């Protein structure tokens, strides 16, 4: 890369406030609720660790957000440029989304590892959301590919992609307009319980789905792919966990929505809100079509710009209130934890969709697949992610539970609808 | 690739049973050997867990023996309380020092706070003569002041991170002075020296630290 700039290793120290969502994560993060997610890219060739280390170090110099470490102030947490060297990149030897031990990781809030042909980027959610992490991972991958495939030098420049943003504004604050009413829910939802996997085991199950086939099926139901997947997931919980019986508690699936397209933001920091697909099992033996109609309506109502703005404005208005700002961090932490635990049981599960990943044409032939895995949270022992690349969509279940009946019902339903599904796991279900 | 006839899905893993229904898979003779996507992970942290358990168990047994001996011999002087506090402190030191999610400044400050508390309780257990707040605690605070000064010199690139512990030392020495003053008729000299040393150490850091010290305080106290 030619355009090197002054970086943290030359003494430049930046500090930055946490964004509105990020304030939550350091408070609630534990070994079991790590708030770490993983985005992986699988290449066509085996990874060369030394070159990967160099690629990460070089790309990191441009991404101030990923250089941050977390510090504790008297009133707030804050980010500060980390002056320590990047830890040595190791072959994968932990389950996905394992807690990032700050002091073992030289205080970096992300971790890069590799296994076979795959590069893993694991990020503590306080730092950024999936979109920010994806931008960083893409640049690491491009840099690594330029280092390992000399023929690329003829086609691409040895610099960052022109579409990559390095901006790290607090888009919540910049787009907040007025004080809004409380939006977070406290109505208790169905909690999926069961025998847990042994020790610190973490189950991962990827379902590979042809994009063209799922598109066709969703179209035949007159819904979007996301609505269809959420309805199938709700159906699987209704059939396997509630045994098709009516109940008082709803099946509520949280869906993080990327706010960048709605508010014209390119920030690398967190900028998302959570909407929910809510299905009340009001009677026995509901049909899939009935669930699909409820899920569709529930999501359509919530994904408007006005509603999304309302969803984050309540939290931002609290953050801006002087009387709350001067409360010491120790007391704030208790209050945040209390509010979080109150609302945590309002969700059955989470499904996050990173959408269709596009990569630069020159690199395409070296990249085979992307995967996303998210960690568990209070009351949620199973979660899902979606990511599409080229002609394949990957629906990934991550879970602490031994039982895979929900996953089975989910994939069987897709198969019944005429979609060809291939399954791959991390092996814990065979042990 | 193998196929599960019941779930009607293909299974990429190199396995004989379906991860969804545990049914036996139909093996495709033409499929190539699949490279596993994930490594086999070994369970970690078991040794440390055992160390914690053994330490706590051994401490409880040792203290029980001490109480028994104390009861059977010199019950007028309750020295077994002192050994109990000492063992509890030793357990805390072992368990807290191996915690991976705590910084070394935090470990030092916590060690000091618990250490001071232990000294105070020992004084109480031995009939409270006030020597803990008058001499022992101020000496410990001054040692920490010197320790942080040394660390600032050693860790010159990042010296400003020790300003917050210095502030805690000023607060601790002020608390100690008030306590000692309440107990003694005259001004406690050691506690007074401790607060003077702590304030001077902090003042030196702020005055000579210039903008770096100012920025550190601004970051730590930003509202």
A184 to chain B, any CB pair closer than 8 A? The answer is no
More confident residue, B124 or A217: A217
CA angle B86–B88–B92, rounded 5-degree value: 115
d(CA A400, CA A31) in angstroms, rounded, equals 13
Mean pLDDT score, A183-188: 70
Q: Which residues of B touch A204 (CB under 8 A)?
A: 38
Instruction: State the pLDDT at residue A184.
Output: 59
Neighbours of B44 (CB within 10 A): 12
Contact A118 B37 (CB under 8 A): yes
> A371: number of CA atoms within 13 Å, CB side?
27
Contact A199 B13 (CB under 8 A): no
Among candidates A17, A95, A424 on the partner chain, residue whose Cβ is nearest the Cβ of B12: A424
Instruction: State the pLDDT at residue B79.
Output: 84
Task: Tell me: pLDDT of A392 over 60.
Answer: yes
CA distances from A96 to A56, A99, A380, B13, B212 (A): 19, 9, 17, 18, 39
Mean of the per-residue pLDDT values of chain A: 91
B208 to chain A, any CB pair closer than 8 A? The answer is no
Contact B219 A73 (CB under 8 A): yes
B74: helix, coil or strand?
Answer: coil
The dihedral sign for the CA sequence A166, A169, A171, A177: negative
Q: Which residues of A touch B223 (CB under 8 A)?
A: 75-76, 322, 325-326
Q: Which residues of B touch A103 (CB under 8 A)?
A: 100-103
CB-based burial, A106-134: b 16+ in 10 Å, e otherwise: ebbbbbbbbbbbbbbbbbbbbbbbbbbbb
Q: Lowest mean pLDDT of A209-223, A373-387, B62-76, name the range.
A: B62-76
Secondary structure (DSSP) of B75-99: TTS-HHHHHHHHHHHHHHHHHHHT-
d(CA A370, CA A387) in angstroms, rounded, equals 7
d(CA B150, CA B157) in angstroms, rounded, equals 13
Contact between A168 and A267 under an 8 Å Cβ cutoff? The reply is yes
Strands A90-91 and A367-374 come out as unpaired
- Chain A, residues 324-363, CB within 8 A of chain B, namely 325-326
B99 to chain A, any CB pair closer than 8 A? The answer is no
Contact B20 A115 (CB under 8 A): no
Can you give chain A as a three-state secondary structure string? CCCCCCCHHHCCCCEEECCCCCCCHHHHCCCCCCCEEEEEEEECCCCCHHHHHHHHHHHHCCCHHHHEEEEECCCCEEEEECCCCCCCCEECCCCCCCCCCCCCCCCCCEEEEEECCEEEEEEECCCCCHHHHHHHHHHHHHHHHHHHCHHHHHCCCCCCCCCCCCCCCCHHHHHCCCCCCCCCCCCCCCCCCCCECCCCCCEEEEEEEEHHHHHHHHHHHCCCHHHHHHHHHHHHHHHHCCCCCCCCCCEEEEEEEECHHHHCCCCCCCCEEEEEEEECCCCCCCCHHHHHHHHHHHHHHHCCHHHHHHHHHHHHHHHHCHHHHCCCHHHHHHHHHHHHHHHHCCCCEEEEEEEEECCCHHHHCCEEEEEEEECCECCECEEEEEEEECCEEEEEEEECECCCHHHHHHHHHHHHCCCCCEEEECCHHHC
Phi-psi region of A244 (alpha: psi -120 to 50; beta: other; left: phi over 0): left
Parts of chain B with a pLDDT under 50: none
Minimal C-alpha gap between A301 and chain B (Å): 34
Contact A76 B223 (CB under 8 A): yes
d(CA B158, CA A408) in angstroms, rounded, equals 53
Q: Cβ-count burial of A177 within 10 angstroms (0-12 exposed, 13-18 middle, 19+ buried)? A: exposed
CA distances from A184 to A338, A345, A410 (A): 13, 11, 28
- Which of A427, A428, A431 best tests the B interface by mutation, with the highest count of B CBs <10 A? A427
Among candidates A80, A322, A408 on the partner chain, residue whose Cβ is nearest the Cβ of B219: A80
Task: Tell me: pLDDT of A409 over 90.
Answer: yes
- Cβ pairs A/B, distance under 8 A: 109
pLDDT tens digits along A247-279: 999 999 999 999 999 999 999 999 999 999 999
Sheet of A68-72, strand order:
A15-17, A77-81, A68-72
Grade residue A140 by pLDDT with cuts at 50, 70 and 90.
very high
Q: Dihedral angle at the C-alpha atoms of A233, A238, A240, A245, nearest 10 degrees? A: 180
Closest-CA residue of chain A to B15? A430
**ipTM, 2 dp:** 0.88
B17: helix, coil or strand?
Answer: strand
A46 to chain B, any CB pair closer than 8 A? The answer is no
- Which of B7, B10, B14, B19 best tests the A interface by mutation, with the highest count of A CBs <10 A? B19
Instruction: State the pLDDT at residue A183.
Output: 61
Mean pLDDT score, A121-130: 96
Among candidates A75, A101, A412 on the partner chain, residue whose Cβ is nearest the Cβ of B7: A412
Instruction: State the pLDDT at residue A161.
Output: 85
pLDDT tens digits along B192-214: 899 999 999 999 999 988 888 99
B156 to chain A, any CB pair closer than 8 A? The answer is no
Task: Tell me: pLDDT of A4 over 90.
Answer: no
Grade residue A9 by pLDDT with cuts at 50, 70 and 90.
very low
Closest-CA residue of chain B to A93? B41
Contact between A65 and A268 under an 8 Å Cβ cutoff? The reply is yes
- Chain A, residues 95-134, CB within 8 A of chain B, namely 95, 101-104, 115-116, 118
More confident residue, B74 or A300: A300
Task: Tell me: pLDDT of A3 over 60.
Answer: no
Among candidates B9, B15, B38 on the partner chain, residue whose Cβ is nearest the Cβ of A426: B38
Contact between B94 and B53 under an 8 Å Cβ cutoff? The reply is no
Instruction: State the pLDDT at residue B186.
Output: 60
Contact B43 A95 (CB under 8 A): no
pLDDT tens digits along B110-145: 888 888 888 888 888 777 777 887 888 888 889 989
Neighbours of B27 (CB within 10 A): 11
Strand partners, A102: none
Helical axes B137-154 vs B163-183, angle rounded to 10°: 170
Mean pLDDT score, A376-396: 95
Encoded tokens for B98: 């191996």
pLDDT tens digits along A317-374: 888 888 888 999 999 999 999 988 888 889 999 999 999 999 999 999 999 999 999 9
Q: Lowest mean pLDDT of A48-52, A317-321, A375-379, A402-406, name the range.
A: A317-321
d(CA A252, CA A266) in angstroms, rounded, equals 30
Place of tokens 């895979």: A404
A430 to chain B, any CB pair closer than 8 A? The answer is yes
Q: Which residues of A touch B11 (CB under 8 A)?
A: 422-424
d(CA A103, CA B33) in angstroms, rounded, equals 40
Cα B15 to its chain centre, rounded Å, is 45
Residues in contact with A26: Cβ distance below 8 Å, sequence separation at least 6, in sequence order = A18, A70, A77, A126
Contact A427 B35 (CB under 8 A): no
**pTM confidence score:** 0.88
pLDDT tens digits along A144-175: 999 999 898 888 888 888 888 888 889 998 88
B3 sits in which H/E element: strand B2-4
């Amino acid at each position: 890369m030619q355009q090197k700039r002054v970086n943290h290793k030359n003494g430049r120290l930046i500090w930055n406030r946490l964004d509105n969502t990020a304030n939550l994560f350091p408070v609630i993060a534990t070994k079991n609720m790590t708030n770490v997610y993983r985005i992986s890219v699988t290449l066509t060739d085996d990874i060369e660790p030394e070159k990967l280390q160099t690629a990460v170090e070089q790309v990191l110099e441009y991404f101030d957000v990923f250089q941050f470490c977390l510090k504790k102030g008297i009133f707030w947490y804050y980010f500060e440029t980390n002056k320590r060297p990047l830890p040595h990149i190791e072959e994968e030897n932990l389950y996905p989304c394992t807690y990032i031990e700050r002091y073992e990781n030289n205080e970096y809030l992300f971790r890069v590892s590799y296994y076979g042909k795959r590069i893993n980027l694991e990020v503590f959610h306080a730092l950024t959301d999936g979109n920010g992490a994806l931008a960083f991972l893409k640049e690491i991958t491009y840099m690594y590919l330029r280092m390992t495939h000399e023929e690329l030098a003829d086609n691409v420049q040895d610099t960052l992609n022109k579409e990559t943003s390095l901006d790290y504004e607090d888009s919540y604050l910049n787009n907040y307009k007025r004080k809004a009413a409380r939006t977070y829910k406290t109505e208790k939802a169905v909690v999926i319980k069961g025998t847990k996997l042994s020790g610190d085991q973490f189950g991962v199950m990827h379902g590979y789905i042809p994009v063209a086939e799922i598109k066709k099926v969703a179209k035949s139901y007159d819904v979007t792919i996301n609505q269809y997947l959420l309805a199938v997931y709700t159906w699987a919980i209704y059939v396997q966990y509630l045994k098709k019986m009516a109940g008082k508690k709803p099946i509520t699936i949280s869906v993080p929505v990327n706010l960048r397209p709605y508010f014209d933001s390119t920030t690398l920091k967190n900028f998302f809100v959570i909407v929910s697909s809510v299905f009340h099992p009001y009677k026995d033996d509901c049909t899939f079509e009935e669930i699909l109609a409820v899920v569709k309506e529930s999501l359509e109502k919530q994904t408007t710009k006005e509603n999304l703005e309302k969803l984050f404005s309540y939290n931002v208005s609290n953050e801006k209130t002087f009387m709350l700002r001067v409360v010491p961090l120790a007391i704030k932490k208790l209050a945040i934890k209390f509010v979080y635990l109150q609302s945590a049981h309002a969700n059955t599960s989470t499904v996050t969709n990173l959408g269709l990943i596009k990569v630069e044409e020159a690199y395409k032939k070296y990249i085979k697949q992307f995967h996303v895995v998210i960690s568990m949270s209070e009351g949620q022992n199973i979660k899902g992610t979606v990511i599409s690349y080229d002609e394949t969509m990957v629906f990934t279940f991550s879970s602490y539970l031994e039982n895979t009946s929900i996953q089975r019902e989910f994939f069987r339903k897709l198969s019944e609808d005429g979609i060809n599904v291939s399954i791959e796991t991390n092996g814990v279900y065979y042990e | 690739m193998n196929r599960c006839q019941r779930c009607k899905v293909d299974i990429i893993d190199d396995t004989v049973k379906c991860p969804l229904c545990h049914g036996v898979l139909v093996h495709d003779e033409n499929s190539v050997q699949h490279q596993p996507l994930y490594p086999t992970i070994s369970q970690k942290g078991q040794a440390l867990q055992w160390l914690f358990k053994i330490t706590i168990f051994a401490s409880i047994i040792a203290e029980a023996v001490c109480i028994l001996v104390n009861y059977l011999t010199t019950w007028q002087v309750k020295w077994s309380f002192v050994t109990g506090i000492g063992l509890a402190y030793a357990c805390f030191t072992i368990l807290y020092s191996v915690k991976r999610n705590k910084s070394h400044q935090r470990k030092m400050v916590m060690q000091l706070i618990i250490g001071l508390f232990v000294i105070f309780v020992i004084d109480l257990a031995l009939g409270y003569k006030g020597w803990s707040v008058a001499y022992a605690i101020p000496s410990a605070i001054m040692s920490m002041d010197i320790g942080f000064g040394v660390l600032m010199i050693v860790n010159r690139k990042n010296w400003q991170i020790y300003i917050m512990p210095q502030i805690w030392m000023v607060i601790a020495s002020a608390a100690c002075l008030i306590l000692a003053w309440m107990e003694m008729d005259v001004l406690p000299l050691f506690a007074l020296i401790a607060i003077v040393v702590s304030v001077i150490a902090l003042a030196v850091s702020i005055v000579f630290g210039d903008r770096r010290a100012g920025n550190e305080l601004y970051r730590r106290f930003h509202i």
